Structure 1
């Protein structure tokens, strides 16, 4: 069993750390802001600083909110890159700009560290139950060596290529998630304005060839008025901005994604940022004059 560090105990990080502990690994944890941990993490050793949590660890896992948190946690003086022991492997599940991934990978290499970008698909429930989908970039041999660790948290694990390819693949996937969330909200608006019975609606949306887990799960939650955060709307807005910025850097034209981003911005401006990403539907319902 591994003796490892885990940095970042938000909605996703708590679930990931839980499954590492369940698999028998010894886990030391750190978060940028102190927080109470659930009972399932009682065996984790809580450390007060980055140097303390990475001390003596050959494997350091990170799951943060984006590029700013990455730079603060990984690249600052006294951060992970500065404090980890040469030869250690850093496994970074942060959803970020692939250009930042390359920046971190270069800094890690200069200090004799190995760095993998390993962002995940899934939300609170998948993280808690060890059913995340990992998309990974970096050195293949390093990936193969730590894959058994990823498997303890995962439904599937995918190797996409060298550094930044996991981060880029995550943005590709999140583009589809954000777009489907918008189209689902518009579809539900049309259904409600048409007076279609909610159960009848979902009974066929469950089984059509265009259905998906998002349609089946989020559709029912929205129709019942449940916007409990599993993935914050404010984080979806952050990811939509990342997608747009990165697309411009590589010359990809994403016109509908630009509209999607503006809708998430409008929803955040209405104070919906701390609800689930599906709270975008509240905005779309209001635009259709639905309660």
Structure 2
């Protein structure tokens, strides 16, 4: 059984790491922040640097919050690159720049390791259940080697293409999720202001063609007013900004994504950078001068 290094123990990382531990994999971990007590309790070995974690591992998994943090973990002081990487696989499950991903992969491959970009979708709910969608870029051989680990953490696992293809796929995912959240928020505010019970409307729509995971999970958060983050506003804004920058370079118009970015910016201006991204309904409510919840 492969030895695993798991770097990044946030909202997504903790349950993903726990699922690997439950499956019996030996796991070394590193995080810059406080380690959730469930991780050592489940048998993980805590390391004091990315280098130490990588040195003892065959497969090194990263899931941190942005491109600069991935770069720091890989190439900063006591970074992964300082370990002996010959014959190992680095798997970046963060959501970062596709351009940076390709550059990182070249440096890692020069050090003797394979590199996969494997961002995920499904939020904290999917991470806990082990049902994440995982979109993978990299070589077929590296993908097949890591596939048993992916199958512990996710259900819909797709090898999309070469390095960078996973990040492009995740970028497309974030554009779709963004506009789906916006559509659900608009629909619920419209229904509520017309006098209908928004939660009953949500339940009715789940039986028809408008059904989606966004309507099911985020729609419920909207009607309940529960915005504890599964995926934070500031992280989705980072992803949408990256998508808009890439679209500009390619000459592609993303008008819906641009509008959603403004909704996220409004949430942040109100102190909501740490809210769940479903909280964009607060902005739609303000525009309508109407709340769908009696307690708001």
Residues 137, 159 of structure 1: 8 Å contact kept: yes
Please list every run of 5 or more consecutive structure 2 residues that lacks an aligned counterpart in the other structure: 292-296
1:117-196 superposed matches below 5 A? 117-196=117-196
Distance, in Å, in 1 between the alignment partners of 2:208 and 2:140 is 38
Distance, in Å, in 2 between the alignment partners of 1:230 and 1:73 is 23
Deviation at 1:105, TM superposition (A): 0.5
Deviation at 1:218, TM superposition (A): 1.4
Deviation at 1:229, TM superposition (A): 1.1
CA distances 1:214-246 after superposition (whole Å, capped 9, x unpaired): 112211221111112111111111111111112
Deviates more, 1:245-254 or 1:31-40: 31-40
Q: Per the alignment, in what secondary structure is the counterpart of residue 152 of structure 1? A: helix
State the partner residue of 1:14: 14
- Structure 1 residues 250 and 76 mapped into 2: Cα distance closer, same or farther (>3 Å)? farther
2:74 equivalent to 1:70: no
Distance, in Å, in 2 between the alignment partners of 1:84 and 1:210 is 51
Deviation at 1:77, TM superposition (A): 3.8
Runs of 4+ in 1 over 4 A off after TM superposition: none
Deviates more, 1:19-28 or 1:46-55: 46-55
Distance, in Å, in 2 between the alignment partners of 1:174 and 1:241 is 11
Distance, in Å, in 2 between the alignment partners of 1:260 and 1:53 is 38
Deviation at 1:66, TM superposition (A): 1.2
TM-score by length of 1: 0.96
Please list every run of 5 or more consecutive structure 1 residues that lacks an aligned counterpart in the other structure: none
2:15 equivalent to 1:2: no
TM-score by length of 2: 0.94
Residues 6, 61 of structure 1: 8 Å contact kept: yes
Residues 4, 26 of structure 1: 8 Å contact kept: yes
Residues 64, 70 of structure 1: 8 Å contact kept: yes
CA distances 1:112-131 after superposition (whole Å, capped 9, x unpaired): 11100000011111101111
Deviates more, 1:243-252 or 1:224-233: 243-252
Distance, in Å, in 2 between the alignment partners of 1:39 and 1:56 is 17
Deviation at 1:84, TM superposition (A): 4.2
Q: Per the alignment, in what secondary structure is the counterpart of residue 115 of structure 1? A: strand
State the partner residue of 2:246: 246
Distance, in Å, in 2 between the alignment partners of 1:64 and 1:210 is 33
Deviation at 1:39, TM superposition (A): 6.2
CA distances 1:244-269 after superposition (whole Å, capped 9, x unpaired): 11222222221221111111111111
What is the aligned length? 291
Q: Per the alignment, in what secondary structure is the counterpart of residue 36 of structure 1? A: coil
Residues 21, 41 of structure 1: 8 Å contact kept: no
State the partner residue of 2:47: 47
State the partner residue of 2:260: 260
Distance, in Å, in 1 between the alignment partners of 2:266 and 2:154 is 34
Distance, in Å, in 2 between the alignment partners of 1:192 and 1:260 is 21
State the partner residue of 1:97: 97
2:210 equivalent to 1:201: no
CA distances 1:31-83 after superposition (whole Å, capped 9, x unpaired): 12233332685311111111211113111011010111111111224311232
Deviates more, 1:227-236 or 1:246-255: 246-255
CA distances 1:152-175 after superposition (whole Å, capped 9, x unpaired): 111121000001000100000110
Residues 122, 133 of structure 1: 8 Å contact kept: yes
